[in-house]
Structure 1
């Protein structure tokens, strides 16, 4: 059994200028609309290139996050390999939390807002919006187990998802065994390859 975890191609959100100044409310809006961030022209090209690479593996199943950038990447792969896409909601991105200790009127670099937002996820509380890393990890495990139930020893599955989802999946499998990580990449349109042992 082999699994290919594919990160979506570059999206408009990925191409955002991380050095631009942004206020807290604008950051909140950016996070709320992240699922609608489409692929850029470069992202579509990356998806076409990864589709060619995936085709060489002769996949038997194709899964995708419902977020547009991942689903569009999966559609490009599906067109190349001739498989239907099974969308699994739990494959969605792990969204940063709006940092709760920031003064509203102050603007910061977009990069700083993302860093603070992701660091806020480490605090075990119930955020008003977003999810903590602990909640996200449980969701990742649920998604993995949902797919695993559908696989046989001859399965070659492609899972199109997001950087944090892929990272958490690899970390989970390293701790729990049963899989060998053949290669790892969480760059846009990167492939992390897993083999059951």
Structure 2
């Protein structure tokens, strides 16, 4: 039986430097894209809706959950990586991200390495696959997390790929038992 996992990167959010990253709401464009995601899933059978606890991830898949009459189950290990205890400006952040993708063990004080994020993400994803054989599940998450999950299964999903992930973006991972069979980007 095929288990289908739809990884949905959150829609565009309102970003303000030094803002509360956890509670960041969707932008106007983000809310418009949520309608497109919801419309796409109207004809798709979905058994469960899971999400990172971050507001922007939850709100991105909320329409699907409401349409299907399903609760959104929050899974902390689907969250975005913690960068650092201090704010990085755009230039510092770009340099930091490139360094992380070159060295998965690299991290800043108070932050997580990509290796840590990938390990916690894969462990959580494997649990979902094991517990839901033959079902279709949506996971609302983040760009780095999504990129690292795909990278685990195929190294072609690298830094350059990460830079290309849109807000929102969606990928379908198909599993037979616990083995990945395909990864497909979904256009909506």
Shorter-normalised TM-score: what interval?
Answer: 0.7 to 0.9
Specify the alignment match of 1:83 in structure 2. 70
Count of matched residue positions in the alignment of Structure 1 and Structure 2: 164
Q: Give me the CA root mean square deviation.
A: 2.5
Which of 14, 30, 35 aligns to 1:12? It is 14
How far has the Cα of 1:57 moved from its partner? Answer: 1.4
Specify the alignment match of 2:55 in structure 1. 68
The structure having more radius of gyration, on CA atoms, is: 1
Matched, 1:149 2:94: no
Query: Which consecutive unaligned segments of at least 5 residues does structure 2 have?
Result: 156-163, 176-180, 182-188
Contact 1:96–1:118 (CA under 8 A) maintained in structure 2: no
Matched, 1:173 2:174: no
Matched, 1:117 2:112: no
Mean alpha-carbon deviation: is it higher for 56-65 or for 140-149? 140-149
How far has the Cα of 1:126 moved from its partner? Answer: 6.5
Query: Which consecutive unaligned segments of at least 5 residues does structure 1 have?
Result: 17-26, 176-184
- Which structure 2 residues correspond to residues 25-44 of structure 1 after superposition, within 5 A? 29-30=18-19, 33-44=20-31
Closer, same or farther in 2 for the Cα pair 1:126/1:115, shift >3 Å? closer
Closer, same or farther in 2 for the Cα pair 1:123/1:172, shift >3 Å? closer
Closer, same or farther in 2 for the Cα pair 1:120/1:36, shift >3 Å? farther
> How far does the alpha carbon of each residue in 1:144-189 deviate from its partner, in whole angstroms, 9 at most, with x for none?
1221222112x011111001111111111236xxxxxxxxx83112
Runs of 4 or more, structure 1, over 6 Å off, are none
Specify the alignment match of 1:23 in structure 2. none
Structure 2-normalised TM-score? 0.76
CA distance in 2, matches of 1:45, 1:64: 19
How far has the Cα of 1:120 moved from its partner? Answer: 5.3
CA distance in 2, matches of 1:46, 1:52: 10
Matched, 1:46 2:33: yes
Specify the alignment match of 1:139 in structure 2. 120
Closer, same or farther in 2 for the Cα pair 1:46/1:78, shift >3 Å? same
